[in-house]
Amino acid sequence: MGYSDVDKLAVNTIRVLAADATFKSNSGHPGAPMGMAPVAHVLYNKIMNYNPKNSSWLNRDRFVLSNGHACMLQYTLLHLAGYKISMDDIKAFRTIDSITPGHPEAHDTDGIEVTTGPLGQGFSNAVGLAIAQHHAAGEFNKPGFALINNYTYTFLGDGCMMEGIASEAASLAGHLQLGNLIAIYDDNHISIDGDTNCAFTEDVVMRFKSYGWHVEIVEDGDHDLEGIEAAIKKCQAVKDKPSMIKLRTIIGFGSKQQGTHGVHGSPLKADDIKQLKVKFGMDPEKSFVVPQEVYDLYAQHGAEGAAMEKEWEQLLSKYAESYQSEAADLKRRLSGQLPEGWEKSLPVYSPADPAVASRKLSEIVLQKIHDVIPELVGGSADLTGSNLTRWKEAVDFQPPATGLGDWSGRYIRYGVREHAMGAIMNGLAAYGTVIPYGGTFLNFVSYAAGAVRLSALSHVRVIWVATHDSIGLGEDGPTHQPIETLAHFRALPNCMVWRPADGNETSAAYYVALTSKETPSILALSRQNLPHLENSTIANAMKGGYVVHDVEKADITLVSTGSEVGICVDAVKYLKDNHNLAARVVSIPCFEVFDAQSKEYRLSVLPDGAPSLSVEVMSTMGWERYTHEQFGLNRFGASGPYKDVYKKFEFTPEGISKRAVATVDFWKDVPNIRSPLNRAFQQVS
Amino acid sequence: MGYSDVDKLAVNTIRVLAADATFKSNSGHPGAPMGMAPVAHVLYNKIMNYNPKNSSWLNRDRFVLSNGHACMLQYTLLHLAGYKISMDDIKAFRTIDSITPGHPEAHDTDGIEVTTGPLGQGFSNAVGLAIAQHHAAGEFNKPGFALINNYTYTFLGDGCMMEGIASEAASLAGHLQLGNLIAIYDDNHISIDGDTNCAFTEDVVMRFKSYGWHVEIVEDGDHDLEGIEAAIKKCQAVKDKPSMIKLRTIIGFGSKQQGTHGVHGSPLKADDIKQLKVKFGMDPEKSFVVPQEVYDLYAQHGAEGAAMEKEWEQLLSKYAESYQSEAADLKRRLSGQLPEGWEKSLPVYSPADPAVASRKLSEIVLQKIHDVIPELVGGSADLTGSNLTRWKEAVDFQPPATGLGDWSGRYIRYGVREHAMGAIMNGLAAYGTVIPYGGTFLNFVSYAAGAVRLSALSHVRVIWVATHDSIGLGEDGPTHQPIETLAHFRALPNCMVWRPADGNETSAAYYVALTSKETPSILALSRQNLPHLENSTIANAMKGGYVVHDVEKADITLVSTGSEVGICVDAVKYLKDNHNLAARVVSIPCFEVFDAQSKEYRLSVLPDGAPSLSVEVMSTMGWERYTHEQFGLNRFGASGPYKDVYKKFEFTPEGISKRAVATVDFWKDVPNIRSPLNRAFQQVS
């Protein structure tokens, strides 16, 4: 230990930069950065191992700012540490197309591990990063080769503490005994509504102990750099529990308004910044100043980190001599590329094969590919037997001491914690050594909407195995039957929603989900059995939409997904026999992927000249983009055996035919019917 | 106390009925009903005050089955207790159009207080019911008139315990010292994935103590009826804390598979049911049997409840003599009708008034109407100063001992707990004496998607004040800027999504939200200032859509909502000056309400003959239903001052005009352009 005046100067420099940047942007949160500057300095300058010149070094310590609104703190530290954030970037805080947006975005900014801001997410991402570290250590470390042993640090405030997602993640982290996870709670007694005593009076220390965490308390987080470091080191020494440090700080430390919510979300006034600089012995007339000795202090730590990485690379080289295949596997995983030829393991079906529920088809895929894609790490939010997410030989990811599994286990028992599962998967994906998937009922992916949104925004490969995808789940009834869910996630940018109709479409969904390195996927899968369709091939379904049944001079095209495609095929015959109408059938298992095809291809699937009718047992919202008319369910479902439910709402060959006849009739006088794919202009993208 | 053989018989009757009904429906969850039969019997037969012949008696004790999958337990108890659930209804469990669906639905079944099943919701509803009780007591009770003093009981299992929403609600309930709330935790060590030791090993007792709860433990929940009753009575005596009873039970008690997850979600086998009946001394050949002495036991308790209600009615009559206006107010509230003439308090604007942000317009509404609608109870998830949800004179709802407010306070500090806020509002609305509204950023209503869905399904009047509704929030950036959110909630049945464009539209949104007794509303409100529009009147906006700017022989109709309507009005001039095109402007502040208007009216707003272009700064999904072309944002936003963000994405008069010109051009060769409102057939509803 031993902290010098330069350390104090560094701390105050960080505080003042946060005040300067939020003042310049006239927006942002100075309070938390000013309060947390001491711990941030200790962490980035004394504790964390990282090489600022290579932010993708595998064994770097991870840092997550769960209170993402305090991002000026993180941008400042990354700047000081030598990452690719210049002083001009700091000055461009919260302006268009800068790399210093209002909340940290992993995809755009060097040194940001995960995208945070929505409260509770970052803390849960950190749990995911820590799981990934334990898992990778379990898989790759060997005697004499502690290849992967980094810590994960996360800052969180009262807001994160109050969010349910953080409770879920904390409970699971305690269960999993994640010894390399250290959370630092900024206990500043202030949230936006004022003193936390108005809404948040629980005993946080007792709560975390109840989850099985180790807890340290630092009383003076504003000055006690030694105490902060000592607490972190104590936490590092606790190997069988995650740790939480309750750090008492004063929000907006140094401001005339320190300790009030006046410094939480609004910039300081000009005169307040001046007195702050005077108080800290700085020139009140200058802004955005970093003393050279502060830069030097960080350059030294950065150099140590670079040396450490070099040493690690040497360790890895030696490791590769003894463990050639493991080393090659690790290297490949970090590239994001799947093993060559893995796709040959995907099951292929023909119409002669017996009908199977797509949740079961998904299980078959997982059973076939888990061996060839060792980075696949699954789980379920306590619905394993319903989601069918676990391959037969799977070992659970559990602390070995429990006797229930191992660190190298590839199946995570998430418990009934959908939101945390989503955020933990984001953390798992961000770590770099695993591809996570997780199961729940489609309806309850909505519980995790906040995390799914961040998967999409931060470009991570995460797969939701979302079974029981419609009224077809039957007896559980309206509380469990999705209506709005597909529309919701289809409207989310950079999110693939798949609703496969049969075996080959399910294989295609997995193929695209697994090979899309920057896009999360939701696979909506049926509880009920589905027949295998003619023309359904992996190659066809990979295009997101294709013709299942074609006919010359079609009177109508039926366009559908999942369990309704087969019923549409049956409706073709009904329409011919009873109405002498010729119908085509199109399956669009994934809008997002279909939209990415050439216009020529898309128009071959949904051509001009005849009207089209979509058929899907949920909200029709969004289908107007592809079809002229829509048959769906814009109301809640019903509880009963699924065939009765389908019949009640007329999703039968007869019911579909009735709407098809009405569609043909309605469009018969329109000359030159234009496919809805023809648009006046391109969307902004 | 003193439990007889008839009590034991009643308990076993409940167990066997659950087995019979799930067997007949070949679906459902027998395990939890069989395990919780003893506590359910104690509660419904010895503890709870209710009159089965009047399930809307205000001062009845409330019961919420948070583990809603165990609903055969609740249906059985309601049947025994004498509510309107017949044995035929029990036999119709989980069949189409029965009143005994797969999870309990408040809207359809007598004696069900709230709709449960999605885990964690019911527990949080119970917190809402308990808040409403304390609040109503604070408002209406007078010396000598303990008019409102009911308890709220809730059952919850491991699943609810793991859900984050329950943590949020429990923390708030502890803070609020809700002494009349008693939660009974079915500690059966089994969830769907098996023994809870695989994912859920926290110390639940310590956790609840950390929230400030009183905790009791009952070790033998399978037999110890006296112990259960004693624990409940101890909890009743604790007046300044909510209570949790950890009740150790064996899931599926009596089954050959008792204590395993085999009895959780699957019916018992025929031979297992037979041995169960033999074990309990019942005829193994008979099903759906209730011994007369069990009916009699419940009839006696029901009669006591009826007498109790009668006594209460007399108390109310006396109360009305001394407190005439309070009694009249209470009676009116329970009818669901607002005070006559309240709407005269709604602010009215003209285009000459200065531009104001719609979040501020919302604050003005609340300021004007809080006096005339005393049942309005607001709050925010720790964004009061941003959501502008608190009228100036508001008193906080807080335990008086805190010195921060009062039980009669009408403003709830929810903390950063959006999901619990949503579910608590459902409970508040279900109680009957308040109309709840709650604020957060629109983007974070998604955190509460599970609760909003249940608001819609259970037909409750709940209002979300959802500010910062678009990229117009500016600097906070993509993590906070909604893109998919409106599409999501517009696709949800029975949910009104309002995005008012100005003052009169904001007043109209409140008018419709407050007078729609069976529909929740989300008011999407701007951070930035908006001008008041010509033709915007409360009467027009109440129709959900109307013509803001009309013109003879229009070349195009611009259709928009919220902050973009004013920009469309500016685009009209731009189009005329630069392209000699005549444009109409239509505002559709609420799809759901517009859809309910006559077709004639809707076609007058969106007529045949000219193309239309929607303009909204978020996902275009759903707009194809109303317009021929769509200008929106199907990607994530950007961080910067809002005018820069609008400019980047071309939501300016010029940018809109560019798309309008393309639209006119694209549609110019189409004869007889049909309004998208014309459809081939009606949707199922």
Q: In terms of DSSP bridges, do strands A190-191 and A194-195 run parallel, antiparallel, or are they unpaired?
A: antiparallel
Q: Comparing C-alpha atoms, which of B88, B28, B75, B20 is closest to residue B287?
A: B20
Average pLDDT over residues B635-657: 98
Alpha carbon distance B361, B343 (integer Å) = 15
Provide the 10 A C-beta neighbour count for residue B5.
8
Query: Which H/E stretch holds residue A558?
Result: strand A556-560
Alpha carbon distance A183, A215 (integer Å) = 9
Q: Which residues partner with A243 through β-bridges?
A: A182, A214
pLDDT computed for residue B526 by the predictor: 98
The nearest CA of chain A is from the CA of B140 a distance in Å of 24
Average pLDDT over residues A277-306: 98
Average pLDDT over residues B415-419: 98
The string of pLDDT tens digits covering residues A123-154 is 999 999 999 999 999 999 999 999 999 999 99
pLDDT at B2 exceeding the cut of 90 = no
pLDDT computed for residue A315 by the predictor: 98
Tell me the average pLDDT of chain B. 97
Chain A environment of B384 (Cβ under 8 Å): 192-193
pLDDT at B435 exceeding the cut of 70 = yes
**Whole-number percent of chain A with pLDDT over 70:** 100
C-alpha to C-alpha distances, B232 to B32, B152, B236, nearest whole angstrom: 20, 12, 6
* Closest-approach residue (CA) in chain B for A384: B193
The string of pLDDT tens digits covering residues A587-627 is 999 999 999 999 999 999 999 999 999 999 999 999 999 99
Tell me if residue B548 falls in helix, strand or coil. Answer: strand
Report CB contact under 8 Å: B667, A680: yes
pLDDT computed for residue B265 by the predictor: 87
**Whole-number percent of chain A with pLDDT over 90:** 98
Alpha carbon distance A333, A429 (integer Å) = 11
Q: In terms of DSSP bridges, do strands B435-441 and A243-248 run parallel, antiparallel, or are they unpaired?
A: unpaired
What residues 376-435 of chain A have any CB closer than 8 A to a CB of chain B?
380, 382-386, 396, 398, 402, 404, 413-417, 419-420
Rounded CA Rg of chain B: 28
Tell me the average pLDDT of chain A. 97
Indicate the residue of A96, A118, A635 with minimum beta-carbon distance to B644.
A96
Report yes or no: B288 at the A interface, CB cutoff 8 Å.
no
The string of pLDDT tens digits covering residues A345-397 is 999 999 999 999 999 999 999 999 999 999 999 999 999 999 999 999 999 99
Q: In terms of DSSP bridges, do strands B411-413 and B376-380 run parallel, antiparallel, or are they unpaired?
A: parallel
Chain A environment of B635 (Cβ under 8 Å): 493-494, 684-685
Report yes or no: B220 at the A interface, CB cutoff 8 Å.
no
Q: Comparing C-alpha atoms, which of B222, B129, B140, B218 is closest to residue B176?
A: B129
- If you search the block for the tokens 């069900």, which residue do you land on? B112
Residues with Cβ within 8 Å of A324's Cβ and at least 6 positions away in sequence, in order, are none
C-alpha to C-alpha distances, B376 to A77, A292, B333, B371, B408, nearest whole angstrom: 46, 58, 10, 9, 12
Residues with Cβ within 8 Å of B307's Cβ and at least 6 positions away in sequence, in order, are none
pLDDT computed for residue A107 by the predictor: 87
Domain B543-667 belongs to what architecture? Answer: 3-Layer(aba) Sandwich (3.40)
Helix B5-25 and helix B31-42, axial crossing angle in degrees, nearest 10:
150
pLDDT at B646 exceeding the cut of 90 = yes
Helix A418-431 and helix A121-140, axial crossing angle in degrees, nearest 10:
50
pLDDT computed for residue A685 by the predictor: 65
Residues with Cβ within 8 Å of A111's Cβ and at least 6 positions away in sequence, in order, are A52, A55, A78, A81, A83, A84, A85
pLDDT computed for residue B685 by the predictor: 65
What residues 176-195 of chain B have any CB closer than 8 A to a CB of chain A?
191-193
Chain B environment of A491 (Cβ under 8 Å): 483-484, 487-488, 619, 621-622
Binding residues of B for Mg(2+): 158, 188, 190
pLDDT computed for residue B324 by the predictor: 98
Residue B511 φ/ψ region, left for φ over 0, alpha for ψ in the -120 to 50 degree band, beta for the rest:
alpha
* One-letter amino acid of A51: N
* Closest-approach residue (CA) in chain A for B165: A164
Choices 3.40.50.970, 3.40.605.10, 3.40.1170.60, 1.20.120.80: CATH for B342-530: 3.40.50.970
Residues with Cβ within 8 Å of A578's Cβ and at least 6 positions away in sequence, in order, are A657
Q: Comparing C-alpha atoms, which of B88, B255, B68, B60 is closest to residue B152?
A: B60
Report CB contact under 8 Å: A624, B625: yes
- If you search the block for the tokens 């929740």, which residue do you land on? B520
pLDDT computed for residue A1 by the predictor: 55
Tell me if residue B449 falls in helix, strand or coil. Answer: helix
The answer to whether A524 touches A495, Cβ cutoff 8 Å, is no
Average pLDDT over residues A530-542: 97
Nearest 5 degrees, angle CA A566-CA A572-CA A578?
135
Alpha carbon distance B172, B425 (integer Å) = 13
The nearest CA of chain B is from the CA of A331 a distance in Å of 31
pLDDT at B452 exceeding the cut of 90 = yes
Alpha carbon distance A460, A677 (integer Å) = 29
Q: Which residues partner with A71 through β-bridges?
A: none
Choices 3.30.70.20, 3.40.50.920, 3.40.50.2000, 2.10.60.10: CATH for A544-667: 3.40.50.920
Residue A265: pLDDT band by 50, 70, 90 thresholds?
Answer: confident
Q: In terms of DSSP bridges, do strands B243-248 and B181-187 run parallel, antiparallel, or are they unpaired?
A: parallel
Average pLDDT over residues A217-221: 98
Residue A29: pLDDT band by 50, 70, 90 thresholds?
Answer: very high
Chain A environment of B404 (Cβ under 8 Å): 197-198
What residues 223-262 of chain A have any CB closer than 8 A to a CB of chain B?
none
Alpha carbon distance A120, A451 (integer Å) = 10
Report CB contact under 8 Å: A639, B413: no
CA dihedral A562, A566, A572, A578 (to 10 degrees): -120
Report yes or no: B264 at the A interface, CB cutoff 8 Å.
no
**φ, ψ at A182 (rounded to 5°):** -130, 115
Tell me if residue B458 falls in helix, strand or coil. Answer: coil
Q: Which residues partner with B549 through β-bridges?
A: B585
Query: Which H/E stretch holds residue B245?
Result: strand B243-248
**Whole-number percent of chain B with pLDDT over 70:** 100
The nearest CA of chain A is from the CA of B297 a distance in Å of 32
Residue A435: pLDDT band by 50, 70, 90 thresholds?
Answer: very high
Q: Comparing C-alpha atoms, which of B273, B476, B673, B530 is closest to residue A192?
A: B476
Cα-Cα-Cα-Cα dihedral sign, residues A188, A191, A192, A196: negative
The nearest CA of chain B is from the CA of A305 a distance in Å of 31
Tell me if residue B220 falls in helix, strand or coil. Answer: coil
Chain B environment of A417 (Cβ under 8 Å): 162-164
Choices 3.40.50.10160, 3.30.565.10, 3.90.1150.10, 3.40.50.970: CATH for A5-307: 3.40.50.970
Burial of residue A626 (number of CB atoms within 10 Å: 0-12, 13-18, 19+): buried
pLDDT at B684 exceeding the cut of 80 = no
Report CB contact under 8 Å: B639, A117: no
pLDDT at B185 exceeding the cut of 80 = yes
pLDDT at B277 exceeding the cut of 80 = yes
C-alpha to C-alpha distances, B298 to B10, B77, B79, B83, B221, nearest whole angstrom: 9, 9, 10, 11, 21
Residue A683: pLDDT band by 50, 70, 90 thresholds?
Answer: confident
The nearest CA of chain A is from the CA of B40 a distance in Å of 22
pLDDT at B1 exceeding the cut of 60 = no
Q: CATH 3.40.50.970 residue ranges in chain A?
A: 5-307, 342-530
Chain B environment of A175 (Cβ under 8 Å): 199-202
